[in-house]
Amino acid sequence: MTENLEERAKEAFKAGIENIDREEYDQAVHDFSQAIKLDVTFKNAYYHRGRAKSLLGDGYGALADFMQVLELDPTDSDAYIALGLLHQITDLGAAERDYSEALKFDPTEGMAYRLRGIIKRKQGRLKEALADLDEAAKYDPENPLVYIERGSVKTMQGEASQSLPSLAQTKAPSHFKEAIADFDKAIELDPKNAEAYFNRALARARLGDTQRAVRDYFEVIKLDPKNVEAYYNRGTLRIHAGNPQGAIADFDKVIELKPEDANAHLQKAYVKAQIGDFDGAISDNTRALELIPSDDFKLIEMAYNNRSYAKSRKGDSKGSKEDRSLAFKAQCDNIIPSARKAAFGNRRAGMEALMDEFSRDLDEFRKRKGE
């Protein structure tokens, strides 16, 4: 009788795994629940039910299942990693502790080092992050995400060096070169990884290697044709490279993909003014003013100043003067802080980024386990 129950539990578990592979997560939860009903000590059934629940967005249910895994086996490093992936959405401190627990029971767990390194990077603990990512590269050397993350930390170190007194700034190029080497490795391992090309473009631009940075953005766009940031950044670089028409084409693409992007209109207006298309510059600055949030006084000031310049070049002295006055008013309004709203906006953007990261890391975790 007991053997029959165990066999039925294994069959239900197998069905659950197959349904996860088919992305039938509701059915997978049902299958794993059946397995647990037949065998309440079936650790892997709790674990994979937690995975299925997390993929359905049921964070609390997933958390309960992973905790049950640890009740059955307090040394299960995979369960600690899974908990960390859930915690890092809202509580980086708890996630870091989870990854540290995973490493306590499996000191060779490359993914735990990488994920803990990401947390330290977000908190600005760059040296500690680099130490974790070096360990991740040691134990998980074929994972392109390790090199992307380590390269990102080195890029941040370079940016930090650039903001220091002149003597310290001399270290910045070496940081960027090391970052590029990491992105090169990531691309070698995964030639279709748009994130690696994107980050390498950022590092190359920091080094002043505009031509190669632009080439990298071409690769990003080939792999990810709807990457708004890639078009925007390439457009900005094309301005400096003396390719105004290419820049305008890129900002047009940003506007096509993200019509409410005021910055793209501002950049396009700037380029048009530089090439003497003052009517176009006035039109784009006007559109930007329609899109800029009413409390973003710095952008409002910029748009009015830019439109004032274009109007003056067209001989519209009155219109130019009116825009200068409106720019000055925005400058005065900017003195009144709007930090609370800005902080809320940053939190919202940060949460969206965290959810994207969670999805990526959960998917990578699943692939790593060969499931």
Q: Residue 108: pLDDT band by 50, 70, 90 thresholds? A: very high
Quick one: DSSP state of residue 52?
H
Q: How far apart are alpha carbons 191 and 200 in whole angstroms?
A: 13
Enclosing domain of residue 258:
241-336
Q: Residue 341: pLDDT band by 50, 70, 90 thresholds? A: very low
> How confident is the model at residue 45, as a pLDDT?
97
Q: How far apart are alpha carbons 79 and 64 in whole angstroms?
A: 11
Per residue in 267-316, pLDDT tens? 999 999 999 999 999 999 999 999 999 999 999 999 999 999 999 999 99
Whether the CB-CB separation of 220 and 171 falls below 8 Å is answered with: no
| Domain end residue (candidates: 22, 40, 74) | 74
Q: Residue 23: pLDDT band by 50, 70, 90 thresholds? A: very high
Q: How far, CA to CA in Å, does 345 sit from each of 41, 348, 350? A: 45, 5, 8
Sequence-distant (≥ 6) Cβ neighbours of residue 18 within 8 angstroms? none
Checking if the pLDDT of 77 tops 90, the result is yes
Per-residue pLDDT, averaged over 91-107, amounts to 97
> How confident is the model at residue 355, as a pLDDT?
52
Q: Is 170 helix (H, G, I), strand (E, B) or coil?
A: coil
> Can you spell out the DSSP letters for 275-323?
TT-HHHHHHHHHHHHHHS-TT-HHHHHHHHHHHHHHHHHTT-HHHHHHH
In-domain check, residue 201: no
> How confident is the model at residue 358, as a pLDDT?
56
Q: Which of 197, 261, 209 has the alpha carbon at shortest distance from 232?
A: 261
Q: How far apart are alpha carbons 202 and 92 in whole angstroms?
A: 26
Q: How many CB atoms lie within 10 A of CB 139?
A: 17
> How confident is the model at residue 361, as a pLDDT?
67
In-domain check, residue 20: yes
Q: How many domains does the chain have?
A: 2
Q: Average model confidence (pLDDT) for the chain?
A: 91
In-domain check, residue 324: yes
Q: How many CB atoms lie within 10 A of CB 22?
A: 10
> How confident is the model at residue 366, as a pLDDT?
59
- Tokens encoding 263: 């910055």
| Domain end residue (candidates: 51, 74, 97) | 74
Per-residue pLDDT, averaged over 251-259, amounts to 98
Checking if the pLDDT of 335 tops 80, the result is no
Q: Residue 340: pLDDT band by 50, 70, 90 thresholds? A: very low
In-domain check, residue 220: no
| Domain end residue (candidates: 28, 49, 74) | 74
Checking if the pLDDT of 161 tops 90, the result is no
In-domain check, residue 13: yes
Q: How far, CA to CA in Å, does 332 sit from each of 248, 295, 303? A: 31, 12, 15
Q: How far apart are alpha carbons 189 and 271 in whole angstroms?
A: 38
- Tokens encoding 105: 């029971």
Sequence-distant (≥ 6) Cβ neighbours of residue 235 within 8 angstroms? 246, 247, 248, 249, 250, 251, 254, 264, 267
> How confident is the model at residue 163, as a pLDDT?
74
> How confident is the model at residue 360, as a pLDDT?
64
In-domain check, residue 66: yes
Per-residue pLDDT, averaged over 358-366, amounts to 62
Checking if the pLDDT of 143 tops 60, the result is yes
In-domain check, residue 139: no
- Helices 92-105 and 77-87 sit at what angle, rounded to 10 degrees? 170
Per-residue pLDDT, averaged over 142-156, amounts to 98
**CATH code assigned at 307:** 1.25.40.10
In-domain check, residue 211: no
Burial status of residue 343 (CB atoms within 10 A of its CB: 0-12, 13-18, 19 or more)? exposed
Q: Residue 342: pLDDT band by 50, 70, 90 thresholds? A: very low
> How confident is the model at residue 300, as a pLDDT?
96
Per residue in 180-215, pLDDT tens? 999 999 999 999 999 999 999 999 999 999 999 999
Q: How many CB atoms lie within 10 A of CB 337?
A: 8
Q: How far apart are alpha carbons 173 and 106 in whole angstroms?
A: 36
